[in-house]
Amino acid sequence: ELEELGCEAIRVAVLDLEAAKAIGEIKKGIHIPLIADIHFDPALALESIRSGADGIRINPGNIRGKEGLREIVELAKGRGTAIRIGVNSGSLGRELLKKYSGPTPEAMVESALSFVKKVEEMGFFNLKISLKSSNVLDTIRAYELISERTDYPLHIGITETGTLLPGTVKSAVGISSILMKGIGDTIRVSLCSDPKYEIIVAYEILRSLEIRKRGPELIACPTCGRCEIDLQWLAQEVEKRISDIKVPIKVAVMGCVVNGPGEAKEADIGVAGGRGSGIIFKRGRLLKKVVETRLLEEFIDEVRKTASEYGKSS
């Protein structure tokens, strides 16, 4: 389901050997890289790599045993498996917390770079790094600092952001601030909600920054005293009914004919509400007038027609 929505890499928590062995089975059913998230037990990392995980995410500081990390690194090297060194502000070592008087960005960076050094000394360089905190400003600062000190790919995101609405805002503010500095190679939106929203929100962030375009962009006005139709309902219905379209067309749903088409003239296809009717406009030009009871159906037909023309010269 997530792959269909545009997810390009997926991570699963591996809690026991049975889970590690299941990686091979999962991979048979998907077409995107699968990353195993490992804590504490090196045997789980080793089994995940043997089962075909494309990458593993570890926090080297909590891998048990003196030889555990070395064994993981040696096997990953032989198999070409990438390793993500993931540092969370909540799991920093005691010494660093004391040195920096808390889980500061500087402490996260020092922790990550010391693990990187350890792994590099074992002759391993197929690495990426993440520094996650639920504090947006600390996360931004941590990525700024580390990007000045390493060229490894950086996986960015704000962790434990909360439920859908506040989590979306925090993720958008944090991730886009980091991306706007030219930092970041992969992103993860973390929400305490259905995981499909993580992909949807991620694409909205990338679309806003014009980094990626996928699927329709819905433009809808906030309504005002001029609006004479139930625009919230119409916009939500349109959003639902066009969510399967993959091409990046702009679709506008506007409340009135006075300002609607003009405000949304960049849209490929749009609708503007009137009294008991609405007009459908295409690239700013009037296409047809439709009675309100038929407006949704006719508009969806026109959106699909516009999507099917995408990429062909008009």
Which stretches of the chain bind ligand SF4, using CB under 6 A?
221-224, 226-227, 254-256, 258-260, 263
| Closest chain position to ligand SF4 (CB) | 255
3-state secondary structure of 44: helix
Facing residues of 282 across strands?
269, 285
Residues 292, 293, 299: CA angle, nearest 5 degrees: 70
Residue closer to ligand SF4 by CB (options 263, 309) is 263
Q: Which residue in this structure is represented by tokens 């749009």? A: 270
Write the single-letter amino acid at 77. Answer: K
Instruction: State in angstroms the smallest separation of the CB of 275 from ligand SF4.
Output: 12
Residue closer to ligand SF4 by CB (options 45, 235) is 235
Instruction: State in angstroms the smallest separation of the CB of 278 from ligand SF4.
Output: 12
Residue closer to ligand SF4 by CB (options 265, 305) is 265
Instruction: State in angstroms the smallest separation of the CB of 255 from ligand SF4.
Output: 3
Facing residues of 291 across strands?
277
Instruction: State in angstroms the smallest separation of the CB of 232 from ligand SF4.
Output: 11
Residue closer to ligand SF4 by CB (options 254, 295) is 254
Q: What number of other Cβ atoms are within 10 A of residue 42's Cβ?
A: 19
Instruction: State in angstroms the smallest separation of the CB of 277 from ligand SF4.
Output: 15
Distances (CA, A) of 17 to 14, 38, 54, 80, 117: 8, 11, 17, 21, 29
Residue closer to ligand SF4 by CB (options 20, 279) is 279
What is the spatial distance between Cα 221 and Cα 213, in angstroms, rounded to a whole number? 21
Facing residues of 129 across strands?
85, 154
The answer to whether 3 and 195 are in contact (CB under 8 A) is: no
Instruction: State in angstroms the smallest separation of the CB of 46 from ligand SF4.
Output: 59
Residue closer to ligand SF4 by CB (options 201, 256) is 256
